[in-house]
Chains A and B, each alone.
Chain A
Amino acid sequence: MKYIGRKALIMLVTVLIVTMLVFLAFRVIPGDPVLNMLGTSATPEKVEQLREQMGLNRPLPVRYIEWLRDFFFGDMGKSYTYGIPVRSMLADKVPITITLTLLAFVFVVAISIPLGIFTAKHEDKWYSKAIDVLNQITMSIPSFFVGMLLTYLFGLILKWFKPGGFVNYKVSPVGFILYLIYPAIAIALPKAAMTVKLLKSSVLKEGKLDYVRTAYSRGNSTDEVLYKHVFKNALIPVITFLGMTLADMVAGSIIVEQVFSIPGLGRLLITSISTRDYPVAQSIIAIIACLVIMINFLVDVLYKMVDPRIR
């Protein structure tokens, strides 16, 4: 309990530091937002008035705290480009990105755990070595290129899905998931390859330890030793890695959303960066950052549950 409390405290501090950095980063941008909004012909009185109205005259720490408070209550300001509240722009984008990331994560786990154990178990066989080579190549393919290959193969040649034909979950939840399968695989494949490699080496390393020999000497079969003893211990470094991977995939989805024209957070972020729509960009980055920090916290908690020795 003390452990979780400490980790929760660290999480809160990290959220504070990160949001502060994001806030500051968007304050050092050259150019005055007020002048941007009013144009060069604005009178000094008008500029002063709007500045007062937007709260730009007050000290930075005060503005930060107010921004943070508003952010957590869901008030993220208005988009420069569209003039509508950022919150309403983001509301239906967040579930898309989260679903995509979680789906990709499910693929990573579903592919890598069986394959990792399989290659470790048949370490010396030719097919295990072939998988190793394939693995090494797969982890070097950037997810957006995997995405393009999948689009070509399944979208254009086999016509299993329509590239660019994203279906919103409000229209058809099934069509939504069916479309997301391909981008999810694109995100998952390189990460799964890395996980397979890690799990394999972790299992092989554990297999050399004394407790394994003891387990064998008590008459256990290979499978029993593997699944009852080795697997659990070998999983510990893999969990850390998977946690990092999940955080990475949240960001990785930004690129893959672009490949498959999915109107999620990432696509909006890229548009807002290119059009200099700072309130939108700032809010999305802060949201993704908080998601990542929360994932890290959950991994820490899970880690403790798997391995009680950690303090």
Chain B
Amino acid sequence: MKKRFMKNRRLFIGAVITGIMVLLAVAGVFFTPYDPNAMDTSAKLAGISLKHLMGCDNFGRDILSRILSGLGTTMLVALGTVFIGVFFGTIIGAFTGYYGGIPDEVLMRFNDAVLAFPSLLLALVFISVMGAGKLNVTIALGILFIPSYARIMRGEFLRCKNLDYVRSARLMGASDIRIMFVHILPNTVQVMLSTIAIGFNNAVLAEAGMSYLGIGVQPPDSSLGRMLSEAQSYLFIRPGYAVCTGTAIVLLILGFAMLSEGLEKNA
């Protein structure tokens, strides 16, 4: 197991990058060099220095502190999104895959229609109806994640439902619910993990995009996407602001993408 993990270079690099980013985000909850929202008028747009490792933004807020707390916000939104998607997706996928029939057909056609759609657009419909904000973004992205997850889980349950171990469980008189969630579910973990990693990847990208547009996470919550849109106005005098913030987003996405590919290969 350990050897395989080291040999799978993608998985290894992805795990390292993601691990570091998660650590930074968790650390950012308890400790940031400065208060991420504290404004220091004497340090407006300050350059990189020992005092402010990444400089300050247009309000004199420490960029490093804001990136650390923004990472936390982004991760929280992604976590919520993935949780909603996985929870409902698993249930829908389990029942449709295991039982099949007309509900399966109908739900999967509906799934196809939703999946054929750019998720950003659907998220925008949600946001325009429900309003912006951290919670609404999480709910919107979470709901959007359900169909893709349900489809993958459906495939897994369809594949497993006539395997020998399921049949013997059935012979032993296990109920359908027990077979689905106690016997089959643990056998889908490999697929589940790589899908979850992709889910994180998409959630980070979507959250950053919507916050960049100003319809995602709202102030005073710091968000990487929003910081990037603020950084754009000062691109000429402080390119470092945009580069640092953007790099944080890129590393997050890169980490999850490589993790997902590595897991897929390992499966």
Contacts and interface: CB of A to CB of B under 8 A. Distances in A.
Chain A interface size range: 35 or more
Nearest to B245: A145
B133 interface: no
A136 B254 contact: yes
Interface in A283-302: 285, 288-289, 292-293, 296
B30 interface: no
A285 B121 CA distance: 7
Interface string A268-283: 0110011010100100
Contact of A29 (B129, B215, B235, B236): B129
B124 interface: yes
Contacts of B228: 144-145, 148
Interface stretch (B112-120, B152-160, B173-181): B112-120
B118 A250 contact: yes
A251 B118 contact: yes
A273 B212 contact: no
B60 interface: no
B118 A285 contact: no
Given A140-B250, A252-B120, A152 B129 contact: no
Contact of B242 (A14, A148, A248): A148
Contacts of A251: 118-121
Do most interface residues of chain B lie in helix, strand or loop, or is the interface mixed?
A: helix
B113 A17 contact: yes
Interface string A249-265: 01110110011000000
Given A137-B250, A269-B124, A273-B124, A151 B235 contact: yes
Nearest to A145: B246
13 contacts: A28-B129, A136-B257, A139-B257, A140-B253, A142-B209, A142-B253, A145-B246, A149-B246, A248-B118, A255-B209, A273-B124, A273-B127, A292-B118
Interface of A: 14, 17-18, 21-22, 25-26, 28-29, 136-137, 139-142, 144-145, 148-149, 151-152, 156, 247-248, 250-252, 254-255, 258-259, 269-270, 273-274, 276, 278, 281, 285, 288-289, 292-293, 296
Q: Which 10 A-B pairs have the closest CB atoms?
A: A251-B118, A140-B254, A145-B246, A140-B253, A273-B128, A251-B120, A251-B121, A248-B118, A156-B236, A281-B128
Given A25-B129, A141-B246, A156-B236, 14 more contacts: A14-B116, A18-B113, A136-B258, A137-B254, A142-B249, A148-B242, A148-B246, A152-B239, A248-B118, A255-B120, A269-B124, A292-B116, A292-B117, A292-B121
